Chain A
Amino acid sequence: MPFIPHTEQEIAEMLEAIGIEDTDALFEEIPPHLRTAGLEGVPPGLTEMEVSRLMHKRAAQNKDAVCFIGAGAYEHHIPAAVWQLATRGEYYTAYTPYQAEASQGTLQLTYEYQSMITALTDMDVSNASLYDGASALAEAILMAVRGNRKSKTRRILLPRNVHPAYRRTAETIVGGQNIELVEVDYDRASGTVQLDALQQAAGDDITAVVIQQPSFFGTLEDVDAITDWAHERNALMISITNPLSIAVLKPPGQWGSKGADIACGDGQPLGAPLSCGGPYYGFLCCAQALVRQMPGRIVGRTTDVDGREGFVLTLQAREQHIRRSKATSNICTNQGLVVTASTIHMAILGPRGLENTAAACHANTRRLVEQLTGIDGVRRAFSSAEFHESVLLLDRPVNQVLESLAANNILGGYDLGADYPELGNALLVCATELRTEDEIAAYRGALQEALDVKTLQKEIA
């Protein structure tokens, strides 16, 4: 019987101590007619060898291909030490650090995480993580509504070039709480948000403005001007950033003259493998003035009775287990293990490692775009500066092109057709530091083939 250590002898002793004949008696309070006969639909148990064989087979069924997809999840090199350390039993099987004295490992590591992420974002404080970037945006919006006393309307400006899945998630989570998410369109030529579009949507009173930098398209926004504009209107500035990109791009804490008020995003690029979509983690940082509005766990440094340095969960009074219906959020479990890995990742790479990686991503994407736009029928969609990702317009339907590329073992990018039909045949591409010159050349060759007139004619015939 897997993972249950009891011997027959022990079971007998325990039953005797309880004063019952068999274990059935333990369930006598359950109405008998409600008892399940058995879980018929669950297959019989497998041995470790059998399940291993099964999982190897399943893993092999996921096609292995060279990845040029970004769109919110990025393939980076993760140092071997990161997950070896993160999956140590002491981290992997520890619980939430409620008994602080017995959890100084996790607590100190989390404090170091908070220190590193605030350094990267150049913000005052951070929490210990939320579920992912999308839900972090939702929490940032709720935080802005709670924290902005000067605004009454609960209206949030949310540009269309913010990640579509983030916007949909925010709608799901904040809907029903009397908050209006106001859509602001992007400028078609530059792929960025313009001040006059924001101005028009703002009306008399807005609570917060959300800007993603780089945008979902990879384009670079004028973050200083927009941040100052938001602050002039007594609105809070919420930033969404790729935390790797801000190793080289201006961090939210330095946007405009006062910096962003709330910074969020997904920590995946810092040490979390793609892993079919998760687990990743959402980071949430804010200005000191908003710290009590911040949801989730927060670790603070303090001392013990002997004056020794130690770490505890703090500001718990805002959390669900104390405040209950008036809590800042219902969040409990967060993404502890992924944060553990991410902290180790940041420590091993250091500022220079992260900078060089981020710059390499930018350079590789630039090279990819140069190579691909050299093909007839491929051009850049937007005129503005870009970082790490780019939107290309094609002369053929994107899904057909992607099929063709996949047949050559290339995952070419993300089809924007469903979310941005106005762009036509638009493909979001990304080349991280892992993509080699050979791989980029192979992509170019395969794309050329996919767009070839001959191939097109063949299909029409």
Chain B
Amino acid sequence: MLIYEHSRPGRNGAPQAPASKADLSDIPSGLLRKDSAALPEVSELQAVRHYTRLSKKNFAIDTHFYPLGSCTMKYNPRACNSLAMLPGFLSRHPLAPDRYSQGFLACMCELQNMLCEAMGMAAFSLAPMAGAQGEFAGIKMIAAYHSANNDDARREILVPDAAHGTNPATATMCGFSVKEIPTLDNGDVDFEALQQAVGPQTAGLMLTNPSTLGVFERQIEKIAAIVHEAGGLLYYDGANLNAILGKIRPGDMGFDVIHTNLHKTFSTPHGGGGPGSGAVGVAERLKPYLPLPIVAEAGGQFSCLDEQDAPQSIGRLSAFMGNAGVLLRAYIYMRLLGKSGMERVAEFATLNANYMMAEAKRRGFQLAIPDRRASHEFIITLKKEASELHVTAMDFAKRLLDLGYHAPTTYFPLLVPECLLIEPTESEAKEVLDGFMDALEQIREEAANSPELVTTAPHTLPVKRLDEVGAARNLDLAWKPEKAD
């Protein structure tokens, strides 16, 4: 039932708003609303009950193992939330003068510094509000750099074909054309193809390491060298940072600009689809172009740099400080982890992934890249099961839901057919991983003996399989009063 179905005209005497409507007669009547907006009129109890019940229809990290590859669904510490919502932070207006915001700005400055240290970069901007915005900032900075060097012939960005969809989408948004570089079966970028592709038209290469196939790009030094020699810059997609945090730094690999996903690696909450943060870091030569605002420190006083302080900046990406509350949560998380905590994230994320991969192999599942170490994630391909048992990876995913596990990523990477991209994260205990592998085996057995159980799953959730085609053909995107029965 929609909240609207609990609505009755005249219901709702909310004590959270002024009791009466003030006089608006000084506003020209032609500019005033004639009828009330069609919002629901419910009591507070009805709203609370409705949204509490709705919440129970969700899978979440707090309730289920969520091995979504490339999403890093690790535990979101509660202290990060309560401390980020202290009144001193919550009530601060973004345009309050810097000198009255020293506590907040100190946290931001330290966050910038810790990110520089952890990533091996010279400077960071916390402005981008999600990974995609961080990518946008990164590619824009590359464009600004080449432009400043009067190198305007560089109109092409290289992207591996295994890359996440945001990479080519971002390059296009920045006015570049995209050239895809193939990936070899062992997961490495096709170096020879890359050699052919670089030239005076190359603005840069976008890469993530480990790659979206869950393996480390072993030729990274050669790749960096060849792109730099051709005059291009190297961009790092930080989606998979959880695999290498504290073990190797993107700056040391030769990357000129990186974006981080604070809502992945630094455990800010996924919130049902955000808010995230795509803090972006640069090597020395790209510093002048960082997006605003950037927090600086001088003599113990913190302040935000603006357009006058940073005239070559690519500019603003938001009206204020980006997703400030998210940044505070990331800061608190990093303070809780500290040096040794951060150095162990990758260790245990990788241990968990490799353990699951060994188990998958032992239990007879086919690995997409069998002869290599997994990073923090790995891929099972259900190609064989699909052709022999006529069940797809999507069917497996749906049946996993019945067994109490959120499915791994199935729509990505595009290169592996019928894949399950599995990322356990370091938060999960061994018995959870074992339980998941047991569930996969159970489903495979079901697929052989009672396939309908799998192909028509899920059976135990609030809804069964949904008609996505119908949803796209007959668009129903909002409840409207006229449509109500």
Tell me if A374 counts as interface (CB < 8 A to partner B).
Answer: no
Once A85-B48, A298-B477 are accepted as A-B contacts, the answer to whether A17 and B359 lie under 8 Å apart by CB is: yes
14 residue pairs from A and B, CB less than 8 Å apart:
A4-B348, A29-B218, A39-B339, A59-B87, A61-B102, A72-B319, A129-B274, A133-B319, A302-B466, A310-B466, A314-B471, A330-B132, A350-B14, A359-B23
Chain B residue numbers with a CB within 8 Å of A116 are 39-40
Tell me if B74 counts as interface (CB < 8 A to partner A).
Answer: yes
Tell me if A362 counts as interface (CB < 8 A to partner B).
Answer: yes
Give chain A interface residues in 109-126, CB to chain B under 8 Å: 109-112, 114-116, 118-120, 122, 124-126
Chain B residue numbers with a CB within 8 Å of A166 are 319
A277 touches B478 (CB 8 A): no
Chain A residue numbers with a CB within 8 Å of B325 are 275-276, 278-279
Once A300-B472, A302-B466 are accepted as A-B contacts, the answer to whether A85 and B326 lie under 8 Å apart by CB is: no
A-binding segment of B49-57, B192-200, B446-454:
B49-57
Chain B residue numbers with a CB within 8 Å of A158 are none
The residue that B461 contacts in the complex, of A102, A251, A344, with Cβ under 8 A, is A102
Chain B residue numbers with a CB within 8 Å of A27 are 247-248, 346, 350, 373
Chain A residue numbers with a CB within 8 Å of B92 are 62, 274-276
A334 touches B130 (CB 8 A): yes
Give chain A interface residues in 38-74, CB to chain B under 8 Å: 38-46, 48, 51-52, 54-65, 67, 69, 71-73
B18, B97, B113, B317 — most chain A CB neighbours (10 Å): B18
Chain B residue numbers with a CB within 8 Å of A437 are none
Chain B residue numbers with a CB within 8 Å of A40 are 117, 339
B89 touches A275 (CB 8 A): yes
B16 touches A77 (CB 8 A): yes
A109, A246, A249, A298 — most chain B CB neighbours (10 Å): A109
Tell me if A95 counts as interface (CB < 8 A to partner B).
Answer: yes
Once A10-B430, A278-B275 are accepted as A-B contacts, the answer to whether A92 and B463 lie under 8 Å apart by CB is: no
A109 touches B27 (CB 8 A): no
Chain A residue numbers with a CB within 8 Å of B27 are 220, 249, 362, 385, 387
The residue that B471 contacts in the complex, of A4, A312, A337, with Cβ under 8 A, is A312
B40, B74, B170 — most chain A CB neighbours (10 Å): B40
The 5 closest A-B pairs by CB, nearest first: A45-B338, A59-B88, A337-B271, A89-B62, A61-B103
Chain A residue numbers with a CB within 8 Å of B472 are 300, 314-315, 317
A62, A122, A169, A306 — most chain B CB neighbours (10 Å): A62
A64 to B325, CA, bound (A): 18
The residue that A111 contacts in the complex, of B71, B337, B478, with Cβ under 8 A, is B478
Once A59-B87, A169-B316 are accepted as A-B contacts, the answer to whether A43 and B133 lie under 8 Å apart by CB is: no
Tell me if B397 counts as interface (CB < 8 A to partner A).
Answer: yes
B21, B37, B472 — most chain A CB neighbours (10 Å): B37
B60 touches A41 (CB 8 A): no
Give chain A interface residues in 14-28, CB to chain B under 8 Å: 14-15, 17-19, 23, 26-28
User: Count the B residues whose beta carbon is within 8 Å of the partner chain — how many?
Assistant: 200
Chain A residue numbers with a CB within 8 Å of B131 are 332-333
Chain B residue numbers with a CB within 8 Å of A304 are 463-467
Instruction: Annotate A215-250 by CB proximity to B: 1 below 8 A, 0 otherwise.
Output: 000001001100000000000000000000011111
A386 to B178, CA, bound (A): 48
Across the interface, name the chain B residue whose C-beta is closest to A63. B100
Instruction: Annotate A311-340 by CB proximity to B: 1 below 8 A, 0 otherwise.
Output: 110110101111111110111111111101
Tell me if B436 counts as interface (CB < 8 A to partner A).
Answer: no
Chain B residue numbers with a CB within 8 Å of A168 are 307, 315-316
Tell me if B77 counts as interface (CB < 8 A to partner A).
Answer: yes
A28, A65, A115 — most chain B CB neighbours (10 Å): A115
A360 to B23, CA, bound (A): 8
The residue that B169 contacts in the complex, of A39, A51, A320, A349, with Cβ under 8 A, is A320
A3 touches B77 (CB 8 A): yes
The residue that B93 contacts in the complex, of A75, A251, A297, with Cβ under 8 A, is A75
A64 to B274, CA, bound (A): 29
A27, A94, A317 — most chain B CB neighbours (10 Å): A94
Tell me if B252 counts as interface (CB < 8 A to partner A).
Answer: yes
A30 to B18, CA, bound (A): 62
Chain A residue numbers with a CB within 8 Å of B34 are 250
Across the interface, name the chain B residue whose C-beta is closest to A119. B38
Chain B residue numbers with a CB within 8 Å of A15 are 351
A254 to B130, CA, bound (A): 33
B248 touches A106 (CB 8 A): no
**With A105-B55, A168-B316 already in contact, 12 other A-B pairs whose C-beta atoms are closer than 8 Å:** A29-B215, A40-B117, A43-B339, A46-B338, A100-B468, A165-B316, A224-B30, A249-B31, A278-B275, A304-B464, A310-B462, A351-B41
